[in-house]
Structure 1
């Protein structure tokens, strides 16, 4: 399992797609592959007001990734030290088996290179002590990245504040 987790505070996301744009810039991707993407849910009416939510989707870096198991050349790999799943482009032959194997659509086809791309949490940046590109440019700071245990604590604190706000508004 990946020791890292990328958390999105859905309540803060405005759907600006800065994360997608920065990801494409960082990875020098052409139109087509989207290693992370913002999915709009809604709008739906809450009372008389239309509301939409924006969900950030990227690779989940599964504990037992199907894409790695399906890859016939060993191009799709998982780092043993942190569980990050990535593509070794020198080994990728473009067979797209990993794309078919992933239930989340994380591996994406790059027609310019004839190879597969996928989110690798910007492992080159992580190895330099930096955050993934999508997190570093999030305009509302709704994306957080870190160790699983730290992100779990952030989620707990966020939920506790929400519960407290409900209790305070009841008085």
Structure 2
């Protein structure tokens, strides 16, 4: 049976990928595969032009999810003080799990404890499987995981998956924000608030060059640099 020129070239390329693990890794980064079932892919947006740094979101997260005081699932970082109309203005940026479509923390977990829920796109941890090896902490390029001081297992933001979200309510941080700086919803629903926000505003995401496809979006503040 004859082989076309295109088929011959593709065959050589496939053999090269199989023979070189670096090529395979690059192919996965350049062409990431995302498993989505049920057409739900939760994401969040943080509007830095609205955030006042009150940290109510952090307190709500601790209370609703029973997070010990010495650790946190999210943080609000001061992004600088700037002069505007003869007064000083401060800007803040959210730091929390990005719920990546292609999460490196899942890829390195030796027990399958770290996983991405195929029904929602939420990245989470099976605490009964976690052995506290810290591989996922080292692999996360956003440095948002920690070891829970009581369970000794990896922990992080899971969009209140077991608390508010399970009860049909938005994540605690979203619900409590006094200035509505947070928007949460299904990225794959064009009629959702978050999809409309992303379509109508200029947004940025951190470290896109890594191929992680993060689902935490930011509306940049008016001053200074974007610190990814």
Partner in structure 1 of residue 166 of structure 2: 127
Partner in structure 1 of residue 195 of structure 2: 152
Deviation sequence 1:18-60 (CA, Å, 0-9, x none): 1011111112111232211101111133464322111122111
SS of residue paired to 1:127 = helix
Structure 1, unaligned stretches of length 5 or more? 160-171
Pairwise mapping of residues 7-156 of structure 1 onto structure 2 (< 5 A)?
A: 7-46=45-84, 48-124=86-162, 125-148=164-187, 149=190, 150=192, 151-156=194-199
SS of residue paired to 1:139 = coil
Aligned length: 159
- Aligned-pair distance for 1:158? 5.2
Larger radius of gyration: 2
- For the Cα contact (< 8 Å) 1:32–1:110, is it kept in 2? no
Residues in 2 aligned to 1:25 and 1:95: alpha-carbon distance in whole angstroms? 27
Structure 2, unaligned stretches of length 5 or more? 1-33, 35-39, 203-228
SS of residue paired to 1:5 = strand
TM-score, normalised with respect to structure 1: 0.85
SS of residue paired to 2:167 = coil
Residues in 1 aligned to 2:98 and 2:124: alpha-carbon distance in whole angstroms? 11
TM-score, normalised with respect to structure 2: 0.65
Partner in structure 2 of residue 3 of structure 1: 41
Partner in structure 1 of residue 220 of structure 2: none
- RMSD over aligned CA atoms reads 1.8
- Aligned-pair distance for 1:4? 1.2
- For the Cα contact (< 8 Å) 1:32–1:109, is it kept in 2? no
